[in-house]
Amino acid sequence: MKYLDEYRDPAVARTLLHQLTQVATTPWALMEVCGGQTHTLVRQGIDELLPAGIRMIHGPGCPVCVTPLELIDKALAIAARPEVTFVSFGDMLRVPGTSTDLLALKARGADVRVVYSPMDAVRLAAARPDRQVVFFAVGFETTAPANAMAVLHAAALELPNFSMLVSHVLVPPAITAILDAPDCEVQGFLAAGHVCAVMGWTEYEPIAERYRVPIVVTGFEPLDLLEGILMAVRQLEAGRAEVENQYARAVYRDGNTAARDAIQRVFHVTDRTWRGIGAIPTSGLALAAEFTDYDAERRFGVGAIHAVEHPECIAGAILTGSRVPTDCAAYGTRCTPRTPLGAPMVSTEGTCAAFFSAGRTR
């Protein structure tokens, strides 16, 4: 299949690994930002095939994992209301809140539904004016354009019974927060290709320059990742710190301007709390003033809910790359994909789930 088989060719992978061995003269630590990249690296064993000294640190790019616990609790509080139809992508249903999850709430009779597009939620609201339809808008810059379009569509239809619980986060401020951490070991980044397909890479250029780190926009197939790693190591060995684009088949410097325009029209940049990491300034999106009528947090008065993480979960250290899942005492025993204690074990993009499904043991 085009764009799949050609990016999984073992002979090319061996060539890239050989080139990497020849280029790398000293240890380097790179972070892949996206959970999808982590999943490919771990599932294919690429991180274990790299030449000695080249270490991959798994970053915070799993949107399910970084959605704050208190937002899950707010989702649960809204979904439990009898007048509400709560609509979400499927990966949020098993994310544990403080006392339960959306799937358990659904089993107890709450009207919780899974959709594949936020537009399905808009259509549902139009079809059921007797119900309050709330869409759980989670994700990075990748899902924000479609969610923005859903709000614009609901506004055009003047739907009074549609709203969104928004938890959008932005990648560049997270990279900056990681680099600002005093114990940061990351020397180069593989930026998430799909995020850059929307946003382009101009936001990364001042980061590369200020922190002197190479940033390579990278895809998700095994050869994408090997080539992205090789490009980053070449920069490090040459003393360069630039933004390069490995994912040229999908990403342009300015991204998708129509998608960016939709985001800018519907959302504004705000501070966000990242699960396991904490507050990061200007790292999220919230509904712009023109669209606050669609803000489910305001409509249902759940703004005051606060939550405390499970004491055993070290997700924060894992999401910032200072620990790996097998360092966690609960990994594979008390915490498994069937019994997750923290979000990184729930999502297929979560680092803990990726390690578990690849059979990695403590």
DSSP per-residue letters across 55-97: EEEEEEE-HHHHS-HHHHHHHHHHHTSTTEEEEE-GGGTT---
Smallest gap from Cβ 163 to ligand SF4, in A, equals: 30
Smallest gap from Cβ 143 to ligand SF4, in A, equals: 22
Local structure of 231: helix, strand or coil:
helix
CA distance linking residue 333 with residue 259, whole number of Å: 43
Which one, 236 or 314, has the nearer CB to ligand SF4? 314
Smallest gap from Cβ 81 to ligand SF4, in A, equals: 29
Smallest gap from Cβ 305 to ligand SF4, in A, equals: 21
Q: At 61, list the tokens.
A: 């790019």
- Given a contact cutoff of 8 angstroms between Cβ atoms, the answer to whether 294 and 309 are in contact is no
Which one, 254 or 327, has the nearer CB to ligand SF4? 327
In the complex, residue closest to ligand SF4 by CB: 342
CA of 189: how far to CAs of 38, 43, 61, 137, in Å? 13, 20, 12, 27
Which one, 98 or 270, has the nearer CB to ligand SF4? 98
Which one, 118 or 340, has the nearer CB to ligand SF4? 340
Q: At 163, list the tokens.
A: 């709203």
Residue partners of 359: CB distance under 8 A and separation at least 6: none
| Residue 166 bridge partners (DSSP) | 137
Residues that bind ligand SF4 (CB under 6 A): 312-315, 318, 325, 328, 330-331, 335, 340-342, 344-345, 352
Smallest gap from Cβ 313 to ligand SF4, in A, equals: 3
- How far is it between the farthest Cα atoms of the chain? 66
Which one, 138 or 287, has the nearer CB to ligand SF4? 138
Which one, 124 or 315, has the nearer CB to ligand SF4? 315
Smallest gap from Cβ 51 to ligand SF4, in A, equals: 28
Q: Is 189 left (phi over 0), alpha (psi -120 to 50) or beta?
A: beta
